Amino acid sequence: MRGTEQREAAGSLVRQVRVVVIGAGQAGLSSAYHLARRGLAPHRDVVVLDANPAPGGAWLHRWPSLTFDAAHALHSLPGFPLGTPDPQEPASAVVNRYYGAFEREFGLPVIRPVSVLRVEPDGLGAERPLRVTTTGGTWIADVVVNATGTWDRPYWPYYRGRDVFAGRQLHTHDFRSATEFTGQRVLVVGGGTSAVQFLLQLEEAGARTTWSTRRPPAFTRRAFDPEWGREVEAEVSARTSAGLPPASVVSVTGLSLTPRYQAGIDAGILVSRGPLTGLREHSAVFADGSEEPVDAVLWATGFRAALDHLAPLRLREPGGGIRTDGVRVAKEPRLLLVGYGASASTLGASRAGRAAAIAAMDGLRDLAPRPEATGTLA
């Protein structure tokens, strides 16, 4: 049944492959590369389904003013060094070009734009495959590697008065340019890297900024060395292993205190007003009882894992997360999660892609032999 096509009663095309990879970001591309290295034929045995119109993953949607030097560290994909891009080039352009070149270099079977609607069991029994229903048809796969990341699930926290605030509200997901806020009073909510970068850009663009964080900003002078990276990964992995929702990596690492950030602290820009308690029609109210006039609120409050399409598999644990052992999902052995938890960073995502390929091949070896392909997917 491998690599074959058939039509359901309604006439939609159903394709059968060994592995479906969902998402063509760092984790998905790494997974596809390592699967191909282990002998799975592109299109016949493995496909990568990507919802984006072009290569680049979530980076494709980052705001134009986010230059490569200001972005989170981007690690090279396996077997294909990134090189030294122009630090002032928009990160979205760098990654679009780099991922696209990677896909072409290794002939990866990326199909786009295709949005995955749901993943569910296809039949009963221990060896049942998984059915992947998409906007471009249906795939039946022995193994599914999910690499959908977080970009499509921006987190909007609830605060009293958010619905009565008369000014503009937007999330990191929707930010395009600081110049849109020139002359305005902008409240930035969130304690991560994006919030810090927004504050500096907004100040440079002539906005008046106020910063709100639930806890004091976690600036640190510790070098981001491999030992620290292992400590961070272990701490984040401990949550997913226990079935808890993954914590953000920055909540564990803190914010690296660069000279630019130190200058922002000295200038009073990167100084938090403390926790926000609510909004009024034209102002923000803080935990210390103070109130500040505000024209716009930028919610730099992070993202959650984009896993709604996996809901039919009923993977959630009582703690609210999905219990994993590395990339393996406890409740569904046919599903592998990459770019989730500790592998959400670009370095972790590349390593997780290799782990997913190894786990997928182990799973395929445990299955009964499949008939040879009778067709090639387009």
Q: What is the pLDDT of residues 29-64, one digit of tens each?
A: 999 999 999 999 999 999 999 999 999 999 999 988
pLDDT of residue 70: 78
Query: Cis ω on the peptide bond leading into residue 113 (within 30° of 0)?
Result: yes
- pLDDT of 9 strictly over 50: no
HEC secondary structure over 291-328: EEECCEEEECCCECCCCHHHHHHCCECCCCCECEECCE
pLDDT tens sequence across 265-301: 999 999 999 999 999 999 999 999 999 999 999 999 9
> What DSSP assignment string belongs to 113-147?
S--EEEEEE-SSSTT--EEEEETTEEEEEEEEEE-
* pLDDT, tens only, 55-91: 999 999 998 888 888 776 678 999 999 989 998 999 9
Under a CB-based contact definition with an 8 Å cutoff, are residues 338 and 353 in contact?
Answer: yes
What per-residue confidence (pLDDT) applies to 143? 97
Residue 338 is predicted with a pLDDT of 93
Q: Which residue type is seen at 330?
A: A
* pTM tops 0.95: no
Q: What is the pLDDT of residue 238?
A: 77
Look at residue 8 in the predicted model and tell me its pLDDT.
54
Q: How many Å apart are CA 356 and CA 327, to the nearest integer?
A: 6
- Residue-wise pLDDT tens digits, 217-251: 989 887 666 666 666 677 777 777 778 887 766 66
pLDDT of 371 reads: 46
DSSP string, 30-94: HHHHHHHHTTPPBTTTEEEE--SSSS-GGGGGS-TT-BGGGSPP-PPBTTB------TTSBHHHH
pLDDT tens-digit map of 112-154? 999 999 999 997 665 689 999 999 999 999 999 999 999 999 9
Count CB neighbours of 241 within 10 A.
17
**Cβ-count burial of 70 within 10 angstroms (0-12 exposed, 13-18 middle, 19+ buried)?**
middle
